[in-house]
Amino acid sequence: MAETRVAIVTGAARGIGAAIARRLAADGSHVAVLDLREEDTATTVQAIVDKGGRAIGIGADVAAGPDVRAAVARTVEELGAPTVLVNNAGILRDNLLFKMADEDWDAVVSVHLRGAFLMAREVQRHQVEARWGRVVNLSSTSALGNRGQANYAAAKAGLQGFTKTLAIELGPFGITANAIAPGFIATDMLRASAARLGITFEEYLDAAARQIPVRRVGQPDDIAAAASYLCSDEASFVSGQVLYVAGGPQG
Ligand code: NAP
């Protein structure tokens, strides 16, 4: 039987993060479900517990050093040393470059890039000690460029360089680092985009599906399946990669 591992999934109250947390728990890991407010993590934690898994909810802002240190310390205390980290927390502050406020740039870069950096730096000490670890960072097809997303595209492309560097630095300790770059995944994050375009979410999904080779939009479980593989023992020779999960080729 596979060893029980402790995983931290950020931004796991809903959407892709919640699906990844549930999937890693189903795979046998104990999971720290991290999100901005602890009370928002209850649904994900309950879903895991209902299936016989073990999970705790932690409220923390991944971009804040003291929050990150406290979150990892609580994970160690209540679940054990974390060796799996999924940096999934994210926000959108879309606007065309000429209208983008300083705060929109800073907020997006801070959550995605600084957040992933702070979390990875804090968790790596436990991974190095265990001589085993998995880091999965959520990038995006937007890393290749997307109108209205200069901040988000820069952060998601930055995460790819960050991932490759972690793979090089941490590889000697049995730790792999990979990125998943989702295409269009039906989550709350995109509801706001539909509202901004003045169409319903369903119309937005239909229009997106028509542009995707497999003729459907992605679901959070599509990303969870990829994360499950990258976090598995079998994936120990896959590191520093960016896996586009988008229903068709990218790049
Ligand atoms: P989502 O439904 O908006 O969920 C994101 C979660 O992250 C929310 O629960 C959010 O909390 C949390 N969060 C935001 N800022 C945080 C912070 N500073 N600290 C801790 N948690 C924070 O988004 P999603 O669609 O599942 O996306 C998950 C990841 O996949 C993101 O990194 C996103 O960029 C990436 N992605 C998504 C898509 C897509 O099509 N959906 C495509 C490509 C990449 P609040 O609700 O309180 O804000």
Residue 160, token pair as written in the block: 């790819």
Site residues for ligand 1, CB cut-off 6 Å: 10-11, 13-17, 35-36, 61-63, 88-91, 111, 115, 138, 140, 182, 184-185, 187-190
What's the Cα-to-Cα distance from 162 to each of 93, 120, 122, 186, rounded to whole Å?
A: 22, 10, 15, 26
Counting ligand 1 atoms within 8 A of each CB, the residue from 8, 10, 16, 242 with the most, and so the one to mutate, is 16
The pLDDT value recorded for residue 143 is 98
The pLDDT value recorded for residue 3 is 82
What whole-number percentage of the chain has pLDDT above 70? 99
Residue 191 has pLDDT above 60, yes or no: yes
| CA-closest residue to ligand 1 atom 17 | 61
Residue 145 has pLDDT above 80, yes or no: yes
The minimum-distance atom of ligand 1 relative to the CA of 62 is 19
Residue 196 has pLDDT above 60, yes or no: yes
- The verdict on whether 152 is a catalytic residue reads yes
Residue 89 has pLDDT above 80, yes or no: yes
Cα-to-centroid distance, 1 and ligand 1 (Å)? 33
Per-residue pLDDT band for 71 (boundaries 50, 70, 90) equals: very high
Tell me the mean pLDDT in the region 137-161: 98
Statement: the pTM of the whole predicted model exceeds 0.85: yes
What whole-number percentage of the chain has pLDDT above 90? 95
Q: How far apart are CA 22 and CA 24, in angstroms?
A: 6
Counting ligand 1 atoms within 8 A of each CB, the residue from 8, 36, 41, 146 with the most, and so the one to mutate, is 36
Query: Of 94-98, 112-116, 137-141, 196-200, which range is least confident?
Result: 196-200
Residue 249 has pLDDT above 60, yes or no: yes
Mean pLDDT for the chain overall: 97
| CA-closest residue to ligand 1 atom 34 | 90
Tell me the mean pLDDT in the region 195-204: 93
- Name the nearest CA neighbour of 20 among 191, 99, 138: 138
Per-residue pLDDT band for 1 (boundaries 50, 70, 90) equals: low
Residues in CB range of 193: below 8 A, 6 or more apart: 92, 94, 204
